[in-house]
Chains A and B, each alone.
Chain A
Amino acid sequence: MNDFLMFLQDVIPSLLKGTVITLEIAGVSLLLGVVVGLPVGLGRVYGPTWLKRVLGIYTTFFQGTPLLIQLFFVYYGLPAAGITFDRFTAAFLTLGLNSGAYQAEYLRGALQSVSEGQMTAARAIGMSKWQAIRAIILPQALRLVLPAWSNEAISMLKYTAVVYLIAVPDLMGQAKILSSKYFAPIQIYLIVAVFYLVLVGITYFVLRAVEKRAGIPGLTYSPEHGGA
């Protein structure tokens, strides 16, 4: 038992360093995913036909191919075309664009699930289409998309693990280094699994709290009373 505690003391500093990097990659990628996914989702629903097509190609590509291939393409493939990224930029870009595709599709579904009558009523009081989208449709769609977005955030925490394959020293990358240093892969990977579990757990509870705060009766949950 004492041996194990000593062992933990040895590996935990490295794993914490890896955790910081994992969180950084997940955070930046999710944010990039929002920045990309929001306009793409809107464009997919409200844009002109040609734009819908172009954006459809983007989402299909990122949803239809393995993440690892996307990462290798960005990190090893693009330099052949003269575009070179450092490891972190490649990780942010790949995961961010991948997440953006998923987020766009979730948002598209949410936008389309807001009933036609909401737009009609908004136009009827003199809002422009864009005003109606901003003030009426989007606030509803964003609340509706929150559960899917929470899942995306949790998936992202785990997907970041692929970046160790381009030698980014994230949690997974540290695990790889430590397991060969101590010849104890099972123990290391179990500890790392617990790390991921804790990260996922915290994220889950925080986002559930956000969902609850943003909730509106009749939109995100059924009201306790009233209604016709």
Chain B
Amino acid sequence: MTNSEAAKTQPIVRLEDIYKAFGVTEVLKGVSLSLMPQEVVVLVGPSGTGKSTLLRCVNLLSRPDKGRIWLEELEITAPGVNEDKVRQRVGMVFQEFNLFTHLTALENVMIGMTKVLKMDKRAAHAKALEELERVGLANRADHYPAQLSGGQKQRVAIARALGMDPHVMLFDEPTSALDPELTGEVLAVMQKLAFEGMTMMVVSHEMGFAREVADRVVFMEGGYIVEAGPPEQMFDHPQVDRTRVSQ
């Protein structure tokens, strides 16, 4: 399907009029957004605006109250859709890394392959090493998360997500928990991924990254998308005042 003509014009992710509330707090108030194959979208906006919630809707960690979501040809918000199967196709990287504490870097990358994809140990081992290689950490394969720096942890987390061969990657402020001198190595890996053609949805305050890597910047505020466009337009000629301030 991914190689067919249809896939070229079909969005990888399509969000249609998404609403989400936690109790009385309305967080998403009708958000629509599509990601085309190989597109990199950077979501920006003040905190508490619903960026994380929107991201979590894409892999159903959060279920929208209203609205529909498609992952390629599949409507994942339709009743009876297997959430676990959906999540195998969507990679996610968290602000706090969330590496499995009791597993080495290599085992962190392997475990999804063996337990979820049911690959055999040897094949998973080889593939996990490749993924670590891809993020430049093959030499840290046997280290536990606590023995890695923050930047290294996040790169392992990226390798873990990549190991599942996701069709799209979600990044939720992947560098916000890092010391400034460690953000570069993570952003470099993300840039490389984007260059290789990965479809990515990134929540980030890294304006340099957005400017250089994003195909589209989406500005969210108060549960709405208030402006969206290519980075040059968003940063140099913003239509909404708030976008100007956010720089």
Contact = CB atoms under 8 A, between A and B. Distances in A.
Interface of A: 115, 117-118, 120-128, 131, 135-136, 139-140, 143, 216-219, 222-223, 225-228
B85 A126 contact: yes
Contacts, number: 98
Contacts of B111: 125, 135-136
B147 A126 contact: no
B112 A219 contact: no
B26 interface: no
Q: Which 9 A-B pairs have the closest CB atoms?
A: A218-B146, A228-B150, A126-B88, A121-B98, A117-B98, A125-B112, A226-B147, A223-B146, A126-B87
A139 B103 CA distance: 10
Contacts of A120: 61, 94, 98
B200 to A, nearest CB: 15
Given A121-B100, A125-B112, A126-B116, A225 B147 contact: yes
Given A117-B96, A218-B145, A223-B144, A126 B164 contact: yes
A35 to B, nearest CB: 23
B151 interface: yes
B101 A226 contact: no
B179 interface: yes
Contacts of B157: 121
A217 B101 CA distance: 9
A139 B102 contact: yes
A143 B102 contact: yes
A206 to B, nearest CB: 22
30 contacts: A115-B98, A117-B94, A117-B98, A118-B98, A118-B100, A120-B61, A121-B99, A121-B100, A124-B90, A124-B94, A125-B116, A125-B160, A127-B84, A127-B112, A131-B115, A136-B102, A136-B111, A140-B102, A216-B101, A216-B144, A218-B146, A219-B101, A226-B143, A226-B147, A227-B146, A227-B147, A227-B148, A228-B151, A228-B177, A228-B179
A193 B85 CA distance: 60
Contact of A226 (B87, B148, B177): B148
A123 B164 contact: no
A219 to B, nearest CB: 5
A228 B146 CA distance: 8
Nearest to A223: B146
B138 to A, nearest CB: 17
A121 B87 CA distance: 11
Interface string B134-152: 0000000001111111110
Nearest to A139: B102
Interface in B155-180: 157, 160-161, 164, 177-179
B31 interface: no
A174 B145 CA distance: 52
A68 B76 CA distance: 57
Nearest to B101: A219
Given A223-B144, A223-B146, A226-B143, 20 more contacts: A117-B94, A118-B101, A121-B92, A121-B99, A123-B87, A127-B112, A128-B84, A131-B116, A135-B111, A136-B100, A143-B102, A216-B144, A218-B146, A218-B147, A219-B101, A219-B144, A227-B148, A227-B149, A228-B150, A228-B153
A222 B146 CA distance: 8
B178 A228 contact: yes
A123 to B, nearest CB: 7
Contacts of A121: 92, 94, 98-100, 157
B144 A217 contact: yes
Output the residue of B87, B149, B164 with the most chain A CB within 10 A.
B87
B182 interface: yes
